[in-house]
A and B are shown apart, each in its own frame.
Chain A
Amino acid sequence: MTMRRILRLARAVRGRTVLSFALIAAPAVGLHAQSNLSTQGFGYPVGQQSARSLGAGGALSEIDPLSPVNPASLALIGSRMLYFQIEPEYRTVTTAAGTERTTTARYPNVFGALPIGSNFVVSLGASTLLDRTATTSFNSTQFLSGHDSVPMTTTFHIDGAMDDVRLAGAWAPVSWLRVGLGVHAITGHNLINLSQKFADSVTFAAFTQSRVLGFSGSALSAGVQFVSQAWLASVSARKGGSLSLNAEDTVVSRARVPDRFGGSIAYTGIAGSAISVRADRDSWSALGNLGSPGLIGVDAWDTSIGADIAGPRFGQQSLYLRGGFRDRTLPFEAANQIVREKSFSGGLGAAFANAHILADLAVVHANRTAVNVPATEHAWTISIGLSVRP
């Protein structure tokens, strides 16, 4: 099943990504309802967070080399590394019409890094920027001419995501300073499958239409980190370039890749531990022109606080305990209202095989609401990250 999804993803991304590496840098390939609060517009911002960072509420993403946020953090990587992340989400949406539970499988982050010399690291990775995968099915009655009408069932199945493929480098010229630069290719696709079935299947013929919307854009990012014995300050920004939405060989619309800036400050005075506060601002409104005229992107803050604490030691290895809280605004309105997400998270991390394998586990519980919208959404997300140091 998983392999089938990866192959499907590979087919979809083929020709749109210059780097085959990105083929397994899976955006979400699961399915869930679009009839929810979080997957509006071009989709849900998975967050470009590693499992480690997610366990700490996202507060570590500026200083976590496995999270493709601040390229300067790559300088922390001391050896060759490959990283892969699995992240299913179990979502419950409740409205007056009832409760629906859906499951989304995501593979939001894949990454590789290679140190060059003693203080320079390059990496190539792909992550999901906006996951739009969804299936929505609803019944309605179409009134035709005169007294003619037909009950029908419409199903929208949308498969795919907007992805971020990043080539980045980090340099640590001195022990208290790290700087990094990243070049981003915004790619991916949305495969839209529209089907309609009619109650009167003798008179009316069911149909299915398919359309592939592809994304093509670019961006640059930069980051810097200042390191002291007990504190780590980090800031980063992404400057979006042009972004186009294509259907086959036709440019449907143009917009800009959203700008982003953020920063965090972390206390690292406890050995092997970090307690961090982070704030991040995404200019999602830049995507407004990419969709239909009514689409409104919301410039959003993403704030979090969390800790990654070295816990009990077992032999030479420590078990890391993590926890955090996150509050953010989602990029697209639902029913013309801003959607907020608050989440609590916890996690574990450990190293195995003489630290050749690092495993991180995070569990996130999120509540999503929109003012004056009679709908609530709860989600459990389980994120597993595996790092391998060959």
Chain B
Amino acid sequence: MLKKVVKLLTAVAAVVSIAACSEKLEAGKSCPLLCPTQAVTLLDTTIDAVVVDTTVLGLPPIGTETYLMLASHGDTLETRAIVRFDTLPQTYTKSGTDSTIVSIDSATLVTPIVKPDSAHRPTSPVTIEVYDVDTAATDTVSSILGSLFRPDRFLGSKTFAPESLLDTLRIPISTDSVLDRVKNGKRLRVGYRLRSTPGYDIRIGTTQNGQAVSLRIKASKDTTATPVVVTPLSNTPTDQPFIAGPLADYTIVLKGLTTTPPTLLSVGGVPSRRAFLHFNVPSHIVDSTTIVRASLLLTQVPNRRVDQRDSVYVFPLAVLAAPVVTDIASALQFLGGNGQFGLDSVRMAPSDSGLRSFEIAGLVRTWRSQPLTVSPRSIALRSGAEAQLPAQFDFFSTKGPAGLRPRLRITYVPQTSYGLP
């Protein structure tokens, strides 16, 4: 009998012990009746925290565009895309044997593009022309390169119906010109020109994003001959390989360069630009409270120059360069990635107007108890289609009209002695 009692007690002890581990954590239905502590109060303040702001044109630097902007908008905007093939092979493979190229059956520029969606297809056929833009002159100057788009340097063209603009365009070019370069060991540098009425723009892939233009040379009609595929390569400037590499493909602007007045901050546009803002937030907020919302409030000014209705994301980005980098243009090249620090983008069209709110709480929180050398209190604004599309977004700067200048709205939890019953 005692053994049975022992077994019973042991079983009860085991069950209770196990059950004791199974906890139910959440409750709160009886709040606020029985809750001694209510929600923490949030405080909200809007301050003129931007102490330095400016727009820097020409970013990203030439050659570092993720897509080449090939635009044709008449007198408003005219751009060209340049692709360099500074080394051309002189042999090809046929039936497993290398042979010297003595003739060329076809030469095609295989051109990856961003496939336009239905809202951005051209309304009429567009023509892409290709020119030989090789020159001994300073070879990134727009005016010099622009003058090379003339009939005697014409290499080829192709007209595309709107529905044929898919993800790759194949443009045949002069086989004689290519053969001449191959035989003589010369470089081939081509310039793209878009002809379209009404205006249109195409985004061409680059070496920066791994989807560069390639030159496909078929040296024989024989089906056993393997076509030669040449990828862009730039060997100049010869003494500056750091610069020469990115210049394998780049964009030049012939018409439509704009500037930004001091009363505005701009992002995107032509030439592409970024905005820089430096903050001074009172330490009693940054260091002594918990920030739950930090909104950079900017007043957008309509820009109706090009693609005024096309919506594009504008990204706030953390400036990672320490204050020792005093050149703002340099600092704007050391930026965090999109979405890093929880920074959220805002989608807008160039012709929009009114108040825009960029949420930067994730970044502002990192400023807590950190010196400026560790956590610079600066952000950049960058267009999600910078150097790819001409869309430009303008906002009033700190030199703009009072009441329309940049402001910082901060919602925070003040330091409280929470936890005391």
Contact = CB atoms under 8 A, between A and B. Distances in A.
A156 B20 CA distance: 22
A23 interface: no
B282 interface: no
Given A145-B44, A203-B293, A211 B418 contact: yes
Contact-size category for B: 35 or more
A295 B421 contact: yes
Contacts of B224: none
B240 interface: no
Contact of A32 (B24, B44, B411, B419): B24
A88 B16 contact: yes
B37 interface: yes
Measured as residues with beta carbon below 8 angstroms from the partner, the interface class of chain A is 35 or more
A95 B27 contact: no
A175 interface: no
B12 A138 contact: no
A202 interface: yes
A14 to B, nearest CB: 20
Nearest to B17: A86
Interface in B315-372: 342, 344, 357, 359, 361-362, 365
A334 B33 CA distance: 8
Interface string A325-364: 0000000101100000000000010101000000101000
B137 interface: no
Interface stretch (B2-10, B79-87, B94-102): B2-10
A97 interface: yes
A34 B36 contact: yes
Contacts of B26: 33, 135, 137, 155
A107 B51 CA distance: 58
A205 B292 contact: yes
B35 A204 contact: no
Contacts of A103: 19-20, 22-24
B316 to A, nearest CB: 13
Interface string B166-205: 0000000000000000000000000000000000000000
Contact of A88 (B6, B19, B27): B19
A339 to B, nearest CB: 10
B27 A154 contact: no
B209 interface: no
Contacts of A95: 29-30, 33-34
A36 interface: yes
Contact of A209 (B33, B37, B41, B418): B418
A204 B361 contact: yes
Contacts of A202: 344, 359
Interface string A40-54: 111000000000000
Nearest to A36: B34
A77 interface: no
Interface string A262-296: 00000000000000000000000000000110010
A204 B292 contact: yes
Given A36-B30, A98-B29, A205-B365, A314 B1 contact: yes
Contacts of A24: none
B32 interface: yes
B23 A205 contact: no
B369 to A, nearest CB: 15
Interface stretch (A166-174, A190-198, A299-307): A190-198
A207 B419 contact: no
A335 B32 CA distance: 9
Contacts of B402: none
Given A144-B44, A374-B33, A192 B5 contact: no
A317 B2 contact: yes
29 contacts: A34-B35, A35-B29, A35-B30, A35-B33, A35-B35, A88-B16, A102-B24, A103-B24, A105-B21, A106-B20, A135-B25, A135-B27, A136-B37, A142-B41, A144-B42, A145-B46, A156-B37, A157-B25, A194-B419, A203-B295, A205-B365, A245-B420, A252-B417, A314-B1, A317-B2, A319-B5, A359-B9, A359-B13, A361-B12
Interface of A: 1-2, 30-37, 40-42, 86-88, 93, 95, 97-106, 132, 134-138, 140, 142, 144-145, 148, 150, 152, 154-158, 190, 192, 194, 196, 198, 202-207, 209, 211, 213, 245, 252-253, 291-292, 295, 314-315, 317, 319, 332, 334-335, 348, 350, 352, 359, 361, 373-375, 382, 384, 386
Interface of B: 1-2, 5-6, 9, 12-13, 16-17, 19-42, 44, 46, 290-293, 295, 342, 344, 357, 359, 361-362, 365, 411, 413, 417-421
Given A34-B34, A88-B19, A319-B5, 4 more contacts: A95-B34, A204-B293, A245-B420, A375-B34
